[in-house]
Structure 1
Amino acid sequence: EPLSVHSESASRHLVAACLDCIVRADQRCLLFSSSSFQQDTRTSSSLPKLDLHVIPVWQKGITGKGVVITVLDDGLEWNHTDIYSNYDAAASYDFNDNDPDPFPRYDSTNENKHGTRCAGEIAMQADNNKCGVGVAYNSKVGGIRMLDGIVTDAIEASSIGFNPNHVDIYSASWGPNDDGKTVEGPGRLAQKAFEYGIQKGRGGKGSIFVWASGNGGRQGDNCDCDGYTDSIYTISISSASQQGLSPWYAEKCSSTLATAYSSGDYTDQRITSADLHNECTQTHTGTSASAPLAAGIFALALEQNPNLTWRDLQHIIVWTSEFDPLANNPGWKRNGAGLMVNSRFGFGLLNAKALVDLADPATWKHVPEKKICIVRDDAFQPRELKAAGEITIEIPTKACAGQENAVRSLEHVQVEASIEYTRRGDLHITLTSPAGTTTVLLAERERDTSANGFRNWDFMSVHTWGEDPAGTWTLKITDTSGRMENKGRILSWKLILHGTSEKPEHMKKPRVYIPYNAVQNDRRGVEHMDDMMEVSRKEVPS
Structure 2
Amino acid sequence: SLQASHGQGLRFMSQSHSQDTRTSSSLPKLDLHVIPVWEKGITGKGVVLTVLDDGLEWNHTDIYSNYDAAASYDFNDNDPDPFPRYDSTNENKHGTRCAGEIAMQADNNKCGVGVAYNSKVGGIRMLDGIVTDAIEASSIGFNPNHVDIYSASWGPNDDGKTVEGPGRLAQKAFEYGIQKGRGGKGSIFVWASGNGGRQGDNCDCDGYTDSIFTISISSASQQGLSPWYAEKCSSTLATTSADLHNECTQTHTGTSASAPLAAGIFALALEQNPNLTWRDLQHIVVWTSEFDPLANNPGWKRNGAGLMVNSRFGFGLLNAKALVDLSDPATWTHVPEKKQCIVRDDSFQPRELKASGEITIEIPTKACVGQENAVHSLEHVQVEASIEYTRRGDLHITLTSPAGTTTVLLAERERDTSANGFKNWDFMSVHTWGEDPAGIWTLKITDTSGHMENKGRILNWKLILHGTSEKPKHMKKPRVYIPYNAVQNDRRGVEHMDDMMEVSYRAGVLGTVQLWYTVEIPS
Please, what TM-score do these two structures have when normalized by structure 2? 0.88
Call closer, same or farther: CA 1:61–1:278 in 2, change over 3 Å. farther
Map Cα deviations across residues 507-538 of structure 1 (whole Å, 9 max, x no partner): 000000012259999999999999999999xx
Would the aligned equivalents of 1:244 and 1:522 in 2 still touch at CA under 8 Å? no
Would the aligned equivalents of 2:390 and 2:419 in 1 still touch at CA under 8 Å? yes
Aligned counterparts of 2:500 and 2:138: Cα–Cα separation in 1:
30
Aligned counterparts of 2:321 and 2:243: Cα–Cα separation in 1:
28
Aligned counterparts of 2:246 and 2:487: Cα–Cα separation in 1:
34
Would the aligned equivalents of 2:360 and 2:442 in 1 still touch at CA under 8 Å? yes
Map Cα deviations across residues 412-431 of structure 1 (whole Å, 9 max, x no partner): 00000000000000000000
Call closer, same or farther: CA 1:440–1:129 in 2, change over 3 Å. same
Aligned counterparts of 1:157 and 1:541: Cα–Cα separation in 2:
40
Aligned counterparts of 2:494 and 2:199: Cα–Cα separation in 1:
15
Map Cα deviations across residues 303-342 of structure 1 (whole Å, 9 max, x no partner): 0000000000000000000110001100000000000000
Aligned counterparts of 1:103 and 1:125: Cα–Cα separation in 2:
19
What's 2:129 paired with?
Answer: 149
Offset at residue 541 of structure 1 (A): 50
Would the aligned equivalents of 2:50 and 2:150 in 1 still touch at CA under 8 Å? yes
Aligned counterparts of 1:62 and 1:484: Cα–Cα separation in 2:
59
Would the aligned equivalents of 2:222 and 2:243 in 1 still touch at CA under 8 Å? no
What's 2:397 paired with?
Answer: 429
Map Cα deviations across residues 64-84 of structure 1 (whole Å, 9 max, x no partner): 000000000000000000000
Call closer, same or farther: CA 1:129–1:24 in 2, change over 3 Å. farther
Aligned counterparts of 1:365 and 1:507: Cα–Cα separation in 2:
11
Aligned counterparts of 1:449 and 1:531: Cα–Cα separation in 2:
53
Identity across matched positions, percent: 94
Call closer, same or farther: CA 1:450–1:402 in 2, change over 3 Å. same
Call closer, same or farther: CA 1:415–1:32 in 2, change over 3 Å. closer
Offset at residue 108 of structure 1 (A): 2.9
Offset at residue 44 of structure 1 (A): 5.0
Gap regions ≥5 residues in structure 2: 505-519
Would the aligned equivalents of 1:304 and 1:356 in 2 still touch at CA under 8 Å? yes
What's 2:86 paired with?
Answer: 106
Would the aligned equivalents of 1:32 and 1:39 in 2 still touch at CA under 8 Å? no
User: Helix, strand or coil: the match of 2:286?
Assistant: helix
The number of aligned residues is 507
Offset at residue 277 of structure 1 (A): 22
Would the aligned equivalents of 2:242 and 2:257 in 1 still touch at CA under 8 Å? no
1:529 matches 2:486: no
Map Cα deviations across residues 385-406 of structure 1 (whole Å, 9 max, x no partner): 0001000000000000000000
Call closer, same or farther: CA 1:277–1:351 in 2, change over 3 Å. closer
Call closer, same or farther: CA 1:382–1:526 in 2, change over 3 Å. farther
Call closer, same or farther: CA 1:202–1:435 in 2, change over 3 Å. same
Would the aligned equivalents of 1:430 and 1:438 in 2 still touch at CA under 8 Å? yes
* Stretches (4+) displaced over 6 A: 22-37, 272-284, 518-536, 539-542
Offset at residue 192 of structure 1 (A): 0.1
Would the aligned equivalents of 1:113 and 1:275 in 2 still touch at CA under 8 Å? no
User: Helix, strand or coil: the match of 1:284?
Assistant: coil
Offset at residue 25 of structure 1 (A): 26
Call closer, same or farther: CA 1:245–1:33 in 2, change over 3 Å. closer
What's 2:514 paired with?
Answer: none
User: Helix, strand or coil: the match of 2:90?
Assistant: coil
Aligned counterparts of 1:468 and 1:414: Cα–Cα separation in 2:
15
Gap regions ≥5 residues in structure 1: 1-21, 260-271
Call closer, same or farther: CA 1:379–1:485 in 2, change over 3 Å. same
User: Helix, strand or coil: the match of 1:512?
Assistant: coil
Offset at residue 209 of structure 1 (A): 0.1
Would the aligned equivalents of 1:430 and 1:442 in 2 still touch at CA under 8 Å? yes
Aligned counterparts of 2:46 and 2:131: Cα–Cα separation in 1:
31
- What's the Cα RMSD here? 7.9
Call closer, same or farther: CA 1:526–1:508 in 2, change over 3 Å. closer
Call closer, same or farther: CA 1:524–1:65 in 2, change over 3 Å. closer
Call closer, same or farther: CA 1:76–1:27 in 2, change over 3 Å. closer
Would the aligned equivalents of 1:422 and 1:453 in 2 still touch at CA under 8 Å? yes
Call closer, same or farther: CA 1:427–1:37 in 2, change over 3 Å. same
Call closer, same or farther: CA 1:195–1:152 in 2, change over 3 Å. same
Call closer, same or farther: CA 1:402–1:144 in 2, change over 3 Å. same
Aligned counterparts of 2:297 and 2:244: Cα–Cα separation in 1:
36
Would the aligned equivalents of 1:391 and 1:476 in 2 still touch at CA under 8 Å? yes
User: Helix, strand or coil: the match of 1:313?
Assistant: helix
Call closer, same or farther: CA 1:527–1:510 in 2, change over 3 Å. closer
1:214 matches 2:182: no
Offset at residue 482 of structure 1 (A): 0.5
Aligned counterparts of 2:521 and 2:384: Cα–Cα separation in 1:
22
Aligned counterparts of 2:159 and 2:12: Cα–Cα separation in 1:
39
Map Cα deviations across residues 270-289 of structure 1 (whole Å, 9 max, x no partner): xx999999999999951000
Call closer, same or farther: CA 1:99–1:417 in 2, change over 3 Å. same
Would the aligned equivalents of 1:33 and 1:127 in 2 still touch at CA under 8 Å? no
Map Cα deviations across residues 145-190 of structure 1 (whole Å, 9 max, x no partner): 0000000000000000000000000000000000000000000000
Would the aligned equivalents of 1:220 and 1:446 in 2 still touch at CA under 8 Å? yes
Aligned counterparts of 2:50 and 2:451: Cα–Cα separation in 1:
47
Offset at residue 27 of structure 1 (A): 23
Call closer, same or farther: CA 1:446–1:533 in 2, change over 3 Å. farther
Offset at residue 49 of structure 1 (A): 3.6
Offset at residue 46 of structure 1 (A): 3.8
Call closer, same or farther: CA 1:76–1:531 in 2, change over 3 Å. farther
Call closer, same or farther: CA 1:284–1:302 in 2, change over 3 Å. farther
Would the aligned equivalents of 1:243 and 1:520 in 2 still touch at CA under 8 Å? no
Would the aligned equivalents of 2:238 and 2:289 in 1 still touch at CA under 8 Å? yes
Call closer, same or farther: CA 1:79–1:533 in 2, change over 3 Å. farther
Would the aligned equivalents of 2:5 and 2:154 in 1 still touch at CA under 8 Å? no
Please, what TM-score do these two structures have when normalized by structure 1? 0.85
Aligned counterparts of 1:220 and 1:310: Cα–Cα separation in 2:
31
What's 1:166 paired with?
Answer: 146
Aligned counterparts of 1:250 and 1:461: Cα–Cα separation in 2:
17
Range moving further from structure 2, 279-288 or 240-249:
279-288
Call closer, same or farther: CA 1:483–1:540 in 2, change over 3 Å. farther
Call closer, same or farther: CA 1:396–1:423 in 2, change over 3 Å. same
Map Cα deviations across residues 450-504 of structure 1 (whole Å, 9 max, x no partner): 0000000000000000000000000000000001100000000000000000000
Offset at residue 107 of structure 1 (A): 2.4
Aligned counterparts of 2:371 and 2:303: Cα–Cα separation in 1:
26
Aligned counterparts of 1:218 and 1:334: Cα–Cα separation in 2:
28
Offset at residue 51 of structure 1 (A): 1.0
Map Cα deviations across residues 109-132 of structure 1 (whole Å, 9 max, x no partner): 331000000000000000210000
Residue in structure 1 matching 2:114, options 109, 125, 134: 134
Aligned counterparts of 2:141 and 2:389: Cα–Cα separation in 1:
35
Call closer, same or farther: CA 1:81–1:23 in 2, change over 3 Å. farther
Call closer, same or farther: CA 1:533–1:354 in 2, change over 3 Å. closer
Would the aligned equivalents of 1:80 and 1:277 in 2 still touch at CA under 8 Å? no
User: Helix, strand or coil: the match of 2:456?
Assistant: strand
Would the aligned equivalents of 1:136 and 1:300 in 2 still touch at CA under 8 Å? yes
Aligned counterparts of 1:159 and 1:360: Cα–Cα separation in 2:
31
Offset at residue 50 of structure 1 (A): 3.1
Alignment of 1:280-429 (within 5 A): 286-429=254-397
Offset at residue 35 of structure 1 (A): 13
Aligned counterparts of 1:344 and 1:192: Cα–Cα separation in 2:
29
Would the aligned equivalents of 2:5 and 2:253 in 1 still touch at CA under 8 Å? no
